[in-house]
Amino acid sequence: MKKKPAKKPTKKVVKSKGLGDTIEKITEATGIKKAVEAIFGDDCGCNERKEKLNKAFTYKRQAQRCLEEHQYEQYKLYRQTRTLNVWNEAEIHFIIKLYAHVFAIQYNENDLCRSCSGSGKILFRISKELDAVYNSYK
């Protein structure tokens, strides 16, 4: 009687949160991580670097939470009255708070202003991502 080939253990694939996770996967696959740990020990600073890179270069995430009915209605009104690429303080507060609820990513409102080009890009991206969530309900 023929033996069945042994099943290879399946490895759970964990999606990278950001660049740090991707680099860790590459260094593990190539053996670099083991070599570094052999030389410098388990606490070589890799985890701290990984977290910093993940925070600085986070991959786009899908919505983690649904819009509640009142949030959907508020966002609908916001979309009807907004002016593209121009936000007043109340709108900034609203979309930052809603974005934090849906995507679990916090932005400090004090770091975002209407006149800064960098802030405008962030607010535009936040609005675009919230629009995608809003449109998924149609």
Q: Which pTM was predicted?
A: 0.54
Residues 48, 95 within the same domain = no
Q: Of the given ranges (14-18, 38-42, 81-85, 111-115), which has the lowest mean pLDDT?
A: 111-115
Q: Does residue 91 belong to any structural domain of this protein?
A: yes
Structural domains of the chain, count: 2
**52 is in which domain, residue-wise?**
19-56
DSSP state of 64: -
Single out the residue in 29, 56, 83 at which a domain terminates: 56
Q: What is the mean pLDDT of the chain?
A: 80
Q: Indicate whether 45 and 79 sit together in one domain.
A: no
Using CA of residue 119, residue 19, residue 17, residue 48, what is the dihedral sign? Answer: negative
Encoded tokens for 84: 């593209």
The answer to whether position 26 is within a domain reads: yes
In a domain, 4, yes or no: no
More confident residue, 90 or 41: 90
pLDDT of 75 reads: 95
Given a cut of 60, is residue 9 above it in pLDDT? no
Q: Is the confidence at residue 10, as pLDDT, over 60?
A: no
Average pLDDT over residues 98-123: 77
Angle at 133 between CA 129 and CA 138, to 5 degrees: 140
Residue 117: the pLDDT is 59
**pLDDT-wise least confident of 2-16, 20-34, 45-59, 79-93:** 2-16
83 and 33 share one domain: no
